[in-house]
A and B are shown apart, each in its own frame.
Chain A
Amino acid sequence: MTNLRQIPWLSLLVLLPLVTGVVLLAIPKGKIGLIRWLSLAAALVTFVLSVGLFIGYDETTAGYQFIEKMDWLPALGISYHLGIDGISAALELMAGIVVLAGVLVTWHVSDRAKEYFSFLMFLAASVFGVFASLDLFLLFFFFELAVFPKYLMIVMWGSPKTREYGGMKLTLYLFLGSVLALVGVLAVYFQSGLLTFNLLELEQAGFGVEFQRLWIAFIFIAFGILPGLIPFHRWPPHGHVAAPTAVSMLLAGVEMKVGAFAALRAGLMLLPDGMRFWAPLVIILATINVVYGAFIAMIQKDFKYVIGFSSVSHMGLVFIGFATLTPEGLTGAGLQMFSHGIMTALFFSIVGMVYDRTHTRNLGELGGLYRYMPVAMFGFVIGGLVSMGMPGFSGFIAEMPIYIGAWKTFPVSAIVSAISIVVTAAYILLVVRKVFFGEVPEALKPGVSDITLRDKIVVIALSGLMIAIGLVPSILTPTIQAGVNHILAILGGA
């Protein structure tokens, strides 16, 4: 076993998609089969690696595991330093699942396929890297690595009407975040007096309270933009909608968590006193996210926008969980990041399947699709139940601890956020009914082809996973709790 642990698993996970991305660019573009199969193979291997890491993570010893460290720029205190705790183990697994699902459901992309899959691989490398980084600079590096493939994928393969706008909006927002993050990162670097970017050392640096209060704002805002924390909630719906299916899946499923995770790792865990100071404000903003996002989702007429805004609502819960600084809240936030990642990936994949076949996302022009694609209907219903926090599904498992944490710290937030449950139920049921049930509109009468076997496998696997977690939460919770305990130790010691 010790030998197995010495293999640089995390490096493999991060570098494999990166290398695959480069190799794909070198393949002649005519060989579309090779491009697809190579991407699939890479996605499959990263998936297996992420599963292996998740299972291999030992909850009893907890802490950071699978650590790899190599000097990179020793003069600047920068090192190639990877490792995962319980939360990142879960998130790596989630990312592994979503990347594989993304490749499978966009298998048919034939327009500049080589660039498409290559960029997808770069995006995957970026998210795997962020979750595994134990060096602040490295984390920032991987975080930024995602920007260019995201932008290019949206403007090149996105929906024709809004892709320039959506891509531009997304990139500018994220650029703002990056700038602020860089400022925050440098401030932390210098203030620590350690002249290192090593997160493990920075965690112990013991920054002054005043410093923490000021700089957490930079870091939290910087990384809070990506998960769409109010008032930065304007980009995700546009960005998600404009993006091609696999990118929407990765953006909403994984990238939003990348932001939340970075806010956790570089914000909350480095500057816990600052977080404590700002927690009430974060809770207020996040509660607005939750409720406002749900109401806005309800009035959307575009299938994809509904899901886009629902993400704003759901990510608010993650931040409520963070800001409670309680074991329950943080565990719930970890669970919600996982559950929401899988759920949104499923949603966007189904939206993509429907759009590819009907060429519309307008809720008024859809209807009765269960006749043609029953499995897609099933998946959407399961995703919807997760989304509305129905017991028996992963959403409930994630939301309950967050609410418990909120009760212990800010009861009002629990009460106000709960409104979103009914609103979510209303819009999800309405969308299910408009899209999948009822009469088939004239335009679709000639028939709509069923989703492919690949699509079905993805839909059923993702749905099954959410049900499994809903029924047996201990699949996920011990690992996440191991990560949370580490955070609590930092909070207690600070």
Chain B
Amino acid sequence: MNFDSMILPLITFLPAAGGLLMLALPKARTSLLKWTALTISVIPLALTVWLWFAFDRNSSALFQFQVMLPWFEAIHSSLHFGIDGISLVMVLLTTILTPLAILTAFNIKEHVKAFMILFLVLETGMLGVFVSLDLLLFFVFWEIGLVPMYFLINQWGGENRNYASLKFILFTMGGSLGLLLAIQLIGALSGTFDLIGILETWQGLTSGTIFGMPAQVVKTIAFWAFVIAFAVKVPVWPFHTWLPDAHTEAPTAGSMILAGVLLKLGAYGFLRLVLPLFPDESRTFSLWLAVLAVAAIVFGALSATGQKDFKRLVAYSSINHMGFVVLAIAAAANVGGTTDEAMRQSATIAVNGAVLQMFNHGLTAAGMFFLVGVLYDRTHTRLLEKFGGLLALLPVYGSILLFVSMASLGLPGLNGFVSEFMIVRGTWPILTAFTAISIIGLLFTGVYVLKAIKLVLHGPLNEQWAGKVHEISIREILVIIPLILLILSIGIWPTWIVEIINHGVMAWI
């Protein structure tokens, strides 16, 4: 076992193992607990940075750093890990956001130990999804992350946390039910859960019968089972109703991870499983997917505009932004299997844009939720109308909020613009009308972002806060600075990340 083949299991299991060790620490030593958790979460980040540079950009292998260990031999499932460009970017996103979220959570007062341990277990769950090359293992990690997130919302959340947490877990579990059944079906049929093996056998299965039903029908049903599971997670309209509740009620660090990483799991599922496993069905139903994507973009933006609660506004903005990712996926699905070189190229650009958008949204959404949290900690309200004129009172905080909002809005020079432009550039030739409507939807993105900024930062100062709210602290600045740097670096010189993404995308299209 050399280091190369153990790096993925190491990155994946280290947080949970660290969490397990933290069980031994005394409950009362809260600062020790916080610093230990932070230290543990930084190690996977360091390893991922190493991975980033060790990743072979010229390799033609579909997956690198593969490792296969026996796990559940009775049903032929193994610990098969491996990454391509797409998963590497997602792993990086997860390992960056987790330490930042833990640093954010330094202001947690109740049950620090349980919080930190749950957070580290959550990280293992998320990382596992991105590195798994075994369907069953994918599902294991997919579901396992729900448990810590449920308790994070349920125990440290806002007033309506009971409702929100139950809705979150039941929606996601209910959505995953079809996925579980479809994975079982594929496993029972193929005699293995190994993704690479299944890709070969499953795709070729176009005629004949599966368990007494026509293969086409079974595949279509399985396709929708996958799609619904991932659509709930992304979330695609109309499966989104759990999101505003869960994001709003979750503690700040939880919202950061929910919006920053968990939503990406759904989009990642589309890219990793739906498109490769169901190319024909994806093509057949790609327009439906596009309709849902556009609905998410437009309705997400409109709903965000109508919100009175700052955090809910940011939550709805996620639906809006993730809609673009789905639109790009729909475009790629639409041209799947085509020989038209121009179309393929457009699809490649769109998917590149989608993965970059996932990364970018991870940064900005985490940043926005964090900034809302900072404000809430000081004012104990999230109602937009209660703020006003805070820029004068909190110049540093205000400037940072402005900056991150602009990134979210898609200002050229910042990261969001790059990915959204790549997506619309890629989808335009394929899904012209849908893209046109979506771009108009971008207008509303501008409206709600500006509305939030106006109500919070500008206008007459709400005298209630004068002298009561204090400026953003050093710890909080330390959380936001890495995000700002990444936002800038991608906005100005996106190549450093796009080359990795493209390496993954090219292999599939």
Map CB proximity to A onto B49-86 as digits: 1 under 8 Å, 0 otherwise. 00000000000000000000011111100000000000
Q: Are A390 and B70 in contact (CB under 8 A)?
A: no
With A418-B181, A437-B155 known to touch, is A408 a contact of B169 (CB < 8 Å)? no
**A411 contacts B by Cβ under 8 Å:** yes
Main secondary structure of the interface of A (DSSP, over half): helix
Q: Which residues 399-434 of A have a CB within 8 angstroms of B?
A: 400-401, 403-404, 407-408, 411, 414-415, 418-419, 421-422, 425-426, 429-430, 433
Q: Which among B142, B162, B211 is the interface contact of A433 at CB below 8 angstroms?
A: B162
Complex: A426 Cα to B167 Cα, angstroms: 10
| Interface size, chain B (Cβ < 8 Å) | 34
With a cutoff of 8 Å between Cβ atoms, the chain B residues found around residue A438 in the complex are 162
With a cutoff of 8 Å between Cβ atoms, the chain B residues found around residue A328 in the complex are 74-75, 188
Map CB proximity to A onto B197-218 as digits: 1 under 8 Å, 0 otherwise. 0000000000000011000000
Q: Are A400 and B75 in contact (CB under 8 A)?
A: yes
With a cutoff of 8 Å between Cβ atoms, the chain A residues found around residue B392 in the complex are none
Map CB proximity to A onto B448-474 as digits: 1 under 8 Å, 0 otherwise. 000000000000000000000000000
With A390-B144, A390-B147, A391-B144 known to touch, is A401 a contact of B169 (CB < 8 Å)? no
Shortest CB–CB separation between residue B324 and chain A, in angstroms? 31
Q: Which among B74, B141, B150, B177 is the interface contact of A421 at CB below 8 angstroms?
A: B177
Map CB proximity to A onto B156-196 as digits: 1 under 8 Å, 0 otherwise. 00000010001001100110010011001101110000000
With a cutoff of 8 Å between Cβ atoms, the chain A residues found around residue B72 in the complex are 397, 400, 473-474, 477
Q: Are A474 and B185 in contact (CB under 8 A)?
A: no
Q: Are B211 and A411 in contact (CB under 8 A)?
A: yes
Q: Are B166 and A404 in contact (CB under 8 A)?
A: no
Complex: A331 Cα to B73 Cα, angstroms: 11
With a cutoff of 8 Å between Cβ atoms, the chain B residues found around residue A331 in the complex are 74
**A392 contacts B by Cβ under 8 Å:** yes
**B143 contacts A by Cβ under 8 Å:** yes
With a cutoff of 8 Å between Cβ atoms, the chain A residues found around residue B173 in the complex are 388, 421-422, 425
With a cutoff of 8 Å between Cβ atoms, the chain A residues found around residue B155 in the complex are 437
With a cutoff of 8 Å between Cβ atoms, the chain B residues found around residue A392 in the complex are 140, 143-144
With a cutoff of 8 Å between Cβ atoms, the chain B residues found around residue A422 in the complex are 170, 173-174, 177
With a cutoff of 8 Å between Cβ atoms, the chain B residues found around residue A385 in the complex are 147
Q: Are B188 and A429 in contact (CB under 8 A)?
A: no
With a cutoff of 8 Å between Cβ atoms, the chain B residues found around residue A437 in the complex are 154-155
Complex: A169 Cα to B72 Cα, angstroms: 41
**A396 contacts B by Cβ under 8 Å:** yes
Complex: A403 Cα to B140 Cα, angstroms: 15
**B428 contacts A by Cβ under 8 Å:** no
Q: Are A415 and B181 in contact (CB under 8 A)?
A: yes
Complex: A418 Cα to B181 Cα, angstroms: 8
**A481 contacts B by Cβ under 8 Å:** yes
With A474-B73, A477-B72 known to touch, is A400 a contact of B169 (CB < 8 Å)? no
Q: Are A481 and B74 in contact (CB under 8 A)?
A: yes
Complex: A328 Cα to B184 Cα, angstroms: 12
Shortest CB–CB separation between residue A381 and chain B, in angstroms? 8
Map CB proximity to B onto A355-390 as digits: 1 under 8 Å, 0 otherwise. 000000000000000000000000000000100101
With a cutoff of 8 Å between Cβ atoms, the chain A residues found around residue B143 in the complex are 390-392
**B376 contacts A by Cβ under 8 Å:** no
With a cutoff of 8 Å between Cβ atoms, the chain A residues found around residue B162 in the complex are 433, 438
With a cutoff of 8 Å between Cβ atoms, the chain A residues found around residue B71 in the complex are 473-474
Map CB proximity to B onto A47-73 as digits: 1 under 8 Å, 0 otherwise. 000000000000000000000000000
Q: Are A401 and B74 in contact (CB under 8 A)?
A: yes
With a cutoff of 8 Å between Cβ atoms, the chain A residues found around residue B142 in the complex are 391
With a cutoff of 8 Å between Cβ atoms, the chain B residues found around residue A404 in the complex are 75, 184, 187-188
Complex: A430 Cα to B169 Cα, angstroms: 12
Complex: A401 Cα to B140 Cα, angstroms: 14
Map CB proximity to B onto A109-131 as digits: 1 under 8 Å, 0 otherwise. 00000000000000000000000
**B139 contacts A by Cβ under 8 Å:** yes
Q: Are A426 and B181 in contact (CB under 8 A)?
A: no
Q: Which residue of A lies closest to B171 (CB)?
A: A422
Instruction: From B71, B141, B184, B211, name the one whose CB has the most chain A CB atoms within 10 angstroms.
Output: B184
Complex: A80 Cα to B98 Cα, angstroms: 62
Complex: A379 Cα to B302 Cα, angstroms: 45
Complex: A392 Cα to B146 Cα, angstroms: 12
Complex: A418 Cα to B183 Cα, angstroms: 13
With a cutoff of 8 Å between Cβ atoms, the chain A residues found around residue B354 in the complex are none
Complex: A3 Cα to B81 Cα, angstroms: 45
Q: Are B74 and A429 in contact (CB under 8 A)?
A: no
Complex: A407 Cα to B146 Cα, angstroms: 26
Complex: A244 Cα to B23 Cα, angstroms: 33
Question: Would you list 10 pairs from A and B whose C-beta atoms are within 8 A, ordered by A residue?
Answer: A388-B173, A391-B141, A400-B184, A401-B74, A401-B75, A404-B184, A407-B185, A407-B189, A426-B166, A429-B169
Other A-B contacts than A404-B75, A422-B173, A422-B174, 5 sampled, CB-CB below 8 A, are A391-B140, A407-B189, A418-B177, A418-B181, A477-B73
B residues within 8 Å of A by Cβ?
70-75, 136, 139-144, 146-147, 150, 154-155, 162, 166, 169-170, 173-174, 177, 180-181, 184-185, 187-189, 211-212
A residues within 8 Å of B by Cβ?
328, 331, 385, 388, 390-392, 396-397, 400-401, 403-404, 407-408, 411, 414-415, 418-419, 421-422, 425-426, 429-430, 433, 437-438, 473-474, 477, 480-481
8 nearest CB pairs, A to B: A391-B140, A407-B188, A477-B74, A392-B144, A473-B72, A391-B143, A404-B188, A403-B184
